[in-house]
Structure 1
């Protein structure tokens, strides 16, 4: 691929694209309007840059991007026969547009140093949010930000998941760094993140994401050991992490409440967040049976549920536009075909090539945590979680190449 001169407009566009991805990543912690703004800037920059435009065209041939575009095509197609009102149907199509940021991030991020910088920016932003969270929790009259004290990243679920990712990204530094000071700082950072997740951030998604990511990091470290040792180590880590959550009062009560609500479902009164999920999931299975192959159409869940709960009372008649299970929601709206294509995205991500192993590990591990938490949520389609995962996958799993912009005399200058 032809490389531009160092001081050319093209080279400046590439630098601008990098700055935009940094701005977008930071915005994902705080502001939906800022996310939309930076995504629009990234799209414009990629399209107007000859180098990035060529990368975009090439990326659209990758299995991952093909699967993403195919899935979004199904979203649009299923809107044509949706039982939902047109404004809801096409509003949902518009909401799913977040998935299209993946190929643009894939095009804009083309080297390991860029990925390393994004990881560092994520950790720095997480550290700032961690400090702010504790200040908000301890001094709410001065540092209150969102609707809950101690929550500075959108909501409990988002904050818990983002802090879980920060723990995962900090573990390699702890494992590899020989500096005693850096080890102490890493341990302190991880302990404070865990303390925040277990005592302030009450979202159970954060607990699950933390467990999944720690287990995956452990599996990566012991990858060359025997199967028996793998089982022993993973069981031990799982037990230790679970014990950690059960030792803190806040996380223990949240876990206990969730289990109780789901295993002792109430037919009257308040069934709780997990109890009502039981009804939504049961209704979803019945709705899938009505059109298993193609579904009831994009955005149809709410209307289909309203038809399903007619004549019911109590928690079983609770209305929603989201069953809080990504896979069931896709199966209801886009059918088994849509769900298989969605799973194809995950499979394509796993099969990504020409990616530095550490960034493939980071990308796939975060994806695995999304897959796990989406069993009780729709984190691939909600705003902050959805925009983040599609951007993160595009950035971390993008095909890497050596890019050396030429100086004005024709020689090369490596960005590394």
Structure 2
């Protein structure tokens, strides 16, 4: 690794050094993702300009014709055009357009990591960064004054929030299952135990420090997909039994986990009986009204940035009650798109998700990472607009972009080898 500093400094004259710089910036962004919002935004801007210096424009422009690139671009274009028929103030239209623009990085990430051999560096950097966040979270639990979030900080949260932290820990946990199983099959016990310890540290933190309810839904679904794809049915039965026993044990031993699960029914009861704006109650209210807004403009929606104005018009009663609550985000990705851009937007959104799912069919760690990133985003977007949220949106863009480039590179290499062999 001693060659890295000299290669970095030689970027002006050496194309390989410029490629290395682009890779290292991507690694730095992945490392910052669990810790910093502004750092990620600035880092991705720097990455883009560094990448422009190494782009070969003709092959890049040809790569844009692939559905994995066309569909995210189409969604951003629809959001931009949707500002024309929205009757929201222009600042609201541009504010609603902004979260979609991160999807424009996907074609550049696909193209770069299809040519780079260092995509796995990005994921290792993210994993190490999340692993370091685990002991910090425990320290904040023991000494809350260490948090950077101030007096309103959630339990065990040093930076960001408990939803973002849970998303990171869930993704790392499930992704690690693949190399752990592979190492065990190759009888590399020490390496498997090390990765298992890392995965268990994420699970223990979620069980005994803090976890989001979205994570409680997404984690078992992602683990179930892993079992169906990578394990034999007898192993699945044994693991299912073990999971039920360990889950029941964790719930019994963890007051925090009990409180999180019991809050589901309590919040629903408070909402139905007293019309109070609980988290679950508000989601039901948002979804019901959003379906009504969608029915009013089912084809192309109400336009970009129109959601808050619609909720303001539909509010009944004071804001302290659920029916009077006003928001610009219905906490469901499909409804968020449907209200603003109608059926056209929903079709593009689902086509994009499907195209990215399809890209990750096959074997290999990169394909597994990409598959889990897409699956997590789709499932968690039932309860949030995670594709448009800053943190989860960048997890999707970076995860799918880097893993997608790695998968495309592996397939092109396999095709070349096959062609050489047949010749």
User: Paired residue for 1:163, among 158, 169, 181?
Assistant: 169
Shift of 1:237: 7.0
**1-side partners of 2:80 and 2:297: how far apart?**
17
> Larger helix proportion, structure 1 or 2?
2
CA contact (8 A) 1:355 1:397 kept: no
SS at match of 1:122: helix
Q: Looking at both structures, which has the greater relative contact order when contacts are Cα pairs under 8 Å and sequence separation is at least 6?
A: 1
Distance 1:245 1:284 in 2: 37
Which of 344, 348, 351 aligns to 1:341? It is: 348
- Whole-angstrom CA distance in 1 between matches of 2:67 and 2:139: 45
CA contact (8 A) 1:89 1:299 kept: yes
Cα separation, 2, equivalents of 1:367 and 1:256: 29
Q: Deviations 1:337-361 (Å, cap 9, x if unpaired)?
A: 1011000101111222798643122
Partner SS state of residue 369, structure 1: helix
Shift in Å, 1:11 = 1.4
How far apart are the structure 1 equivalents of 2:236 and 2:288? 34
In structure 1, runs of 5+ residues without a counterpart are: 405-416
Question: 1:9 matched to which residue of 2?
Answer: 14
Question: Is this contact kept in 2: 1:219–1:230, CA < 8 A?
Answer: no
Residues 134 and 150 of structure 1 are in contact (CA less than 8 Å); yes or no, is this contact kept in structure 2?
Answer: yes
**What does 1:287-298 align with in structure 2 at a 5 Å threshold?**
287-298=293-304
CA offsets 1:273-330 (integer angstroms, 9 cap, x no match): 1111111111111111110111111111110111112457721111111111111111
Asked whether 1:32 is paired with 2:41, we answer no
Instruction: Give the TM-score normalised by structure 1.
Output: 0.86
Between 295-304 and 196-205, the greater mean CA deviation after superposition = 196-205
Tell me, in whole angstroms, the C-alpha distance in 2 between the residues paired with 1:244 and 1:297: 49
**3-state secondary structure, aligned to 1:29:** coil
1:120 is aligned to 124
- Count of residues paired in the alignment: 394
Asked if 1:322 is matched to 2:364, the reply is no
Could you tell me how far 1:231 is from its partner in structure 2?
8.3
Taking structure 2 as the reference length, the TM-score comes to 0.85
Distance 1:242 1:290, change over 3 A: farther
CA contact (8 A) 1:354 1:400 kept: no
RMSD value, Cα: 2.8
1:373, 1:277 → 2: CA distance?
A: 13
Report the CA distance shift for 1:8/1:240 in structure 2 as closer, same or farther (over 3 A). Answer: farther
- Map of 2:220 onto structure 1: 211
C-alpha spacing 1:359/1:237, structure 2 compared with 1 (3 Å): farther
Which residue pairs with 1:151 in the alignment? 157
1:180 correspondence with 2:184: no
CA contact (8 A) 1:326 1:375 kept: yes
Q: Distance in 1 between matches of 2:154 and 2:270?
A: 28
- Structure 2 unaligned runs (5+)? 1-9, 414-423
